[in-house]
Chains A and B, each alone.
Chain A
Amino acid sequence: EVQLVESGGGLVKPGGSLRLSCAASGFTFSTYSMNWVRQAPGKGLEWVSSITRSSGYMYYADSVKGRFTISRDNAKNSLYLQMNSLRAEDTAVYYCAREVAGGLPLDYWGQGTLVIVSS
């Protein structure tokens, strides 16, 4: 059974940092691109970042470029999102999701981890 489990969310002050993790199981992690998608409270989905299978390419939304870094460890079946210089508008539930093919079809999602940026 495919499972994605996010962790690392919490309350952080503006300007602070947080590292999210996503533990994958039930599939060959190294053969899929992975994505982070977030959802602010009461708002819609926002794509954040994606990384290709062997970390050859990383892509970011303009809203997080230069502040967030996506990475993965295929040996540990894990996806990460390092978030620096956090702002109040980064407050959201962060989902990791598996991309089944090119073009953003995300077929499996984690349950999400909540990040709150507040003083």
Chain B
Amino acid sequence: QSVLTQPPSASGTPGQRVTISCSGSNSNIGSNTVNWYQQVPGTAPKLLIYNNNQRPSGVPDRFSGSKSGTSASLAISGLQSEDEADYYCAAWDDSLNGRGVFGGGTKLTVL
């Protein structure tokens, strides 16, 4: 049972817009920034969004993040086949003397 809750799966067709949600609590998303990671199976995760809505250099602007209260969302517009991957949200959690927490991951399928 992950501290952050994500839907296990999402899907869309090429060109569509897809959103992935991430639900937490006051001790994590409610009081800290949210990060999103993309992981193609068999490879290391890649930072996609940090500080709720910032993109690292090289990440296309098709990817965007938002946060409201204790929830966050990742949106992918103009879906492409190469976006098929697992997506994870993550944040710092202030409970239990501090710890990192990840969502359970969302497998995105491009139909």
Contacts and interface: CB of A to CB of B under 8 A. Distances in A.
Given A45-B102, A62-B99, A106 B39 contact: no
A38 to B, nearest CB: 10
Contact of B90 (A100, A104, A109): A104
A47 interface: yes
B15 interface: no
Given A47-B90, A104-B35, A60 B105 contact: no
Nearest to A49: B100
A61 interface: yes
A25 to B, nearest CB: 16
B102 A103 contact: no
Nearest to B104: A44
A105 interface: yes
A89 interface: no
A34 to B, nearest CB: 12
Contact of B92 (A62, A103, A109, A110): A103
A50 B93 CA distance: 13
A102 interface: yes
A58 to B, nearest CB: 10
Interface of B: 2, 32-33, 35, 37, 39, 44-47, 50-51, 56, 86, 88, 90-92, 96-105
Closest 7 CB pairs of A and B: A47-B100, A105-B50, A44-B105, A109-B44, A103-B33, A45-B102, A105-B35
7 contacts: A37-B45, A44-B88, A47-B100, A47-B102, A103-B35, A103-B91, A106-B90
